[in-house]
Amino acid sequence: MSVDVHADIERIFEEVARRNPGEAEFHQAVREVLSSLGAVLDKHPEYRRMKMIERICEPERQIIFRVPWQDDHGRVHINRGFRVEFNSALGPYKGGLRFHPSVNLGIVKFLGFEQIFKNALTGMPIGGGKGGADFDPKGRSDAEIMRFCQSFMTELYRHLGEYTDVPAGDIGVGGREIGYMFGQYKRITNRYESGVLTGKGLSWGGARVRPEATGYGLVFFVAEMLAARGESLRGRTVVVSGSGNVAVYAVEKAQQQGARVLACSDSSGYVVDEDGIDVALLRQVKEVERARLSAYAERAPRARHVSTGAGGASVWDVPCEVALPCATQNELDRDAAEQLVRNGCLLVAEGANMPTTVAAVQVLREAGVAFGPGKAANAGGVATSALEMQQNASRDSWTFEHSEQRLAEIMRDIHARCFEAAEEYGGPGDYVLGANCAGFVRVADAMHDLGLI
């Protein structure tokens, strides 16, 4: 990278940090992308002239709103809702909604920013956005969840539309919540506009393989990474963090491909099961009973549960060859990365968004561990959401086999795009570089064509 391009990138980052104070996760995500773009700017001086990076770092629209609701005892609660409509150069804003007490504007912006490049990498016509609320669904009754979702949508609906902004699920938002929100949208607008939300139930406009897509897609991507090294998942030991939507289906697909998944986690601890994680039991505990993971260990004959409270224990202590962080941002830090390297881990791929800290990525890189960044590795979810929109638009419903095959093809293409861009921009085998450059160039080219808007 030339000296003035380097200086330009530093200046842009400083400006983003100054104009968005206190948004640590957003700064981290911007820094990560910008640090890959030197060779792109060297090759495309027009991007600098048109201030393409500065424009991409500024959301097109940010919506923050009050979400009042009543619990089962009649007590009033006020939460804060967010939707950041980041970039629509490639299509309607697309990205999930997260309900978690940690949600704030900086987190939504980091997720929305990542989503722009992820969606571009899929090759599909979808822009980037993200949203959510600082609402904690844990321990809430079904009726409380419904009232919250209805109140949330009562404000958000005016910003949505199948050609405008199409949310989906994320942490704390699954099929149940999408159902309550879709119901409220339909009631307010008097339109059965299936394409306005994805992750819907099968009988009311949902698509086969959407629940499985992020986890399955992650494993397809891992298989491509391994194949590029002449290897496969068969017989490999795997550890997955989290036990939610992404994690469950990553476990399932990894086992279908002949790996042995030894451990998974939630926010209070992890389970190690020498027999391999039993997906049916895991789903029963987490999805049906909505219980803690310790309930899994009580029922699986050779499983043990380890709490991750004060003692500093981590699911990454469990030796494995392939590590798949599928819980939340910055969950795999430098210590965890060093432990993985000591234990002989050969590949890490992100099912969650930005689960690996900058320092941890550095440790893995220096140790020669293959690393698949989330914006490529977990893009199967949003890609299948785009397939759901496609099916909604054509009033069609595809079979499971066809949908899964499309997902596998898309992940293969994403891998190829990252691989080729990494070669083109001077870092063969560097998936971070490849994903950032390929994603950025597709968005920047579209923005260039659309003029200064």
Give the Cα separation of 122 and 134 in Å (integer). 29
Q: Binders of ligand NDP among 186-225, rule CB under 6 A?
A: 214
Question: Judged by CB under 6 A, does residue 327 bind ligand NDP?
Answer: yes
The residue among 309 and 451 lying less far from ligand NDP, judged by its C-beta, is 309
Min dist CB 211 to ligand NDP, Å, is 8
Give the Cα separation of 51 and 347 in Å (integer). 36
Give the Cα separation of 352 and 334 in Å (integer). 17
Question: Judged by CB under 6 A, does residue 372 bind ligand NDP?
Answer: no
Question: Judged by CB under 6 A, does residue 322 bind ligand NDP?
Answer: no
Binding test (CB under 6 A) with ligand NDP, winner from 38, 127, 351, 439: 351
Local structure of 70: helix, strand or coil: strand
Point out the catalytic residue in the list 94, 109, 118, 130. 130
Min dist CB 168 to ligand NDP, Å, is 7
| Residue, CB closest to ligand NDP | 244
Q: What token pair was written down for 389?
A: 């929109």
The residue among 114 and 321 lying less far from ligand NDP, judged by its C-beta, is 114
Question: Judged by CB under 6 A, does residue 373 bind ligand NDP?
Answer: no
Query: For residue 76, which phi and psi values (nearest 5 degrees)?
Result: -90, 135
The residue among 70 and 330 lying less far from ligand NDP, judged by its C-beta, is 330
Q: What token pair was written down for 64?
A: 């923050």
Q: Binders of ligand NDP among 243-282, rule CB under 6 A?
A: 243-247, 266-268
The residue among 131 and 242 lying less far from ligand NDP, judged by its C-beta, is 242
One-letter amino acid for residue 156 of the chain: L
| 451 φ/ψ sector (left φ>0, alpha ψ -120 to 50, else beta) | left
109 classed as catalytic: no
Question: Judged by CB under 6 A, does residue 115 bind ligand NDP?
Answer: no
Distances (CA, A) of 12 to 4, 26, 400, 441: 12, 14, 45, 18
Distances (CA, A) of 215 to 128, 209, 219, 221, 436: 20, 10, 7, 10, 21
Q: Which residue in this structure is represented by tokens 């309900």? A: 99
Which residues of this chain interact with ligand NDP, rule CB under 6 A?
169-172, 214, 242-247, 266-268, 326-328, 331, 351-353, 378, 381
- Among all residues, which ones are annotated catalytic? 130
